[in-house]
Amino acid sequence: MSAAGLKLGLMPAPKALRPFAHREYRVLIAALAISIFGSGMWAVAMVYQVIHLGGGPLELSLVAAAGSVGLVAFVLAGGIAADRIPQRRLIIAVEGANLAVIAAISGLAMACALQLWHVAAGAFVLGVGAAFFFPAYSAILPRILPAEDLLAANGMEGTMRPVLQQAAGPAVAGILVAALSPSYAVAGVAACHLLAFAVLNFLGRHALASAPGSRSGSRPSFLQDLREGVSYTVKTPWLLWTLIWACISVLFLIGPIEVLLPFLVRDQLGGDSSMFGFLLAVMGVGAAAGSLVTASLRLPRRYLTVMMVSWGVGSLPLAAVGLMHNFWAIAAALFVWGATGSVGMVIWGTLLQRRVPSHLLGRISSLDFFVSLALMPVSMALAGPVAEVLPIWLIFLVAGLVCPVMAIIASAAARMPDDELAHPLDPAQEPTAA
């Protein structure tokens, strides 16, 4: 730095904060932070609202499933919409719909007229909204940020999500439920969506007036758009094999973590729900830390290799979780998995935005969501029956070993080391579409 710069007290902004120099990003990330905080509140408010209405485990499962069905059923349509409709308009419309639904539920709850089917319908609409919001969000980032700031932007999102959606939002909702009632927590969710909706309306109208892939003349059908996205994925080895790896990792890992870990805590550690919750919190802290570190660094020259090594090696500690009888050892394993998983995810999101053609980005992002989300309930459904046949330690061992092996296979099959050298993403270069 020059002497003049030192005199003026000017210091270069940390890399993780560089996206905040752009006005449109500040608006977008502020709205996103408020929205995901509200989502974290909804996760708790919804549970206790169902219980307050006399619902039990079955009713709660149905309401939660309604949200998942809305997300999975519409995520591909959300990707196509993100490539057809101006993303600014789409994001604002989704947040407006979220506001209308939660405000209606809040009003019915305050008037003591709320019924379980209202909550289920609201959860379904919120799921549909998420299916349209996140492909549009992923597609809009490259339009408001230079290529060299995308890694930091994705890292900031990965840092905020566990902090706001998994920790702060649920904590505030829990306080409102305990101090007042579930309806006040739902009102808090509505206030979050109102604020997010208001903030989003400050996004620039002219710079984001049209979708980057909008085409004149006759518009292709839904199936033609979907076929184009799938065809591009199949013909792009690094993309195809990363999604194959993601499918297998979700199938093998999500069920053990979500379904079997509580029993492992009970049987191997003698712990209860609070210990299980603390382990999930440690995993979330790891994810936030991994995202923040990645946001603070440059995109690695060997970006595909670093991504696959992070995911593959980071899964290895889970292989030993079923053999551990020490709480801190299991916590360390989950912290590593959370951190390395988020490192890979931040790089992955950046690669989509820098290497996928802009007119396909919404569809490719939605395919990514779809293949991951579709197998989550399958993994959780299989975990219980498999645990009746195999010991839990063996399930974790297989899960923790399959993912690194598949990472090696995916890297070799897609020739990722050669691909990343053939398509360098130096910050000084324009993104290469391939």
Residue 60 has pLDDT above 90, yes or no: no
**All residues at 6 or more sequence positions from 425 whose CB lies less than 8 Å from its CB, including other chains:** 147, 299, 303, 351, 354, 355, 431, 432
pLDDT for res 428: 46
Segment 150-179 shows an average pLDDT of 84
pLDDT on residue 410: 93
Query: Could you tell me the sign of the dihedral formed by the alpha carbons of 138, 144, 147, 148, in that order?
Result: negative
What whole-number distance in Å separates Cα of residue 68 and Cα of residue 262?
22
Give the lowest-confidence range in 122-131, 148-157, 304-313: 148-157
The reported pLDDT for the residue numbered 213 is 53
Q: What is the mean pLDDT of residues 222-245?
A: 86
Mean pLDDT of the chain: 83
**How many CA atoms, within 13 angstroms, populate the side-chain half-sphere of residue 322?**
19
Q: Which of 123-132, 258-267, 422-431 comes out lowest in average pLDDT?
A: 422-431
Note the pLDDT tens digit of each residue in 248-294. 888 888 878 877 887 888 888 887 766 777 787 888 888 888 888 88
| CA–CA distance, 350 with 384 (Å, rounded to integer) | 35
Q: What is the pLDDT of residue 426?
A: 62
374-377: long-range contacts (C-beta < 8 A, 24 or more apart)?
374/72, 375/247, 375/250, 375/251, 375/254, 376/250, 376/254, 377/68
For the stretch 293-308, pLDDT in tens is 888 888 888 999 999 9
Q: Residue 434: which pLDDT band, with cuts at 50, 70 and 90?
A: very low
| Out of 3-12, 88-97, 310-319, 358-367, least confident range | 3-12
- The pLDDT of residue 6 is above 50: no
Q: Give mean pLDDT, residues 328-353.
A: 89
Residue 392, pLDDT above cutoff 90? no
- pLDDT for position 283: 84
Assign 3 a pLDDT band (cuts: 50, 70, 90).
very low
pLDDT at position 427: 47
Model confidence at 346: pLDDT above 60: yes
> So what's the pLDDT on residue 102?
93
Domains and CATH numbers, the chain: 21-205 (1.20.1250.20), 223-422 (1.20.1250.20)
Q: What is the pLDDT of residue 42?
A: 87
| 410 against 73, higher pLDDT | 410
- Residues, the chain: 434
Q: Where are the alpha helices (DSSP H) in 111-181?
A: 116-144, 150-160, 169-179
Lowest mean pLDDT among 35-44, 54-63, 358-367: 54-63
**Lowest-pLDDT range, 215-219, 233-237, 411-415?**
215-219
Burial profile 205-225: b = 16 or more Cβ within 10 angstroms, e = fewer: eeebeebbbeeeeeeeeeeeb
Is 364 a residue whose pLDDT tops 80? yes
For range 101-105, the mean pLDDT: 93
In our burial notation (b when 16+ CB lie closer than 10 A, e otherwise), range 230-269 reads eebbeebebbbbbbbbbebbbbbbbbbbebbbbebbeebb
Measuring CA to CA, which residue among 125, 106, 131, 117 is closest to residue 62?
A: 117
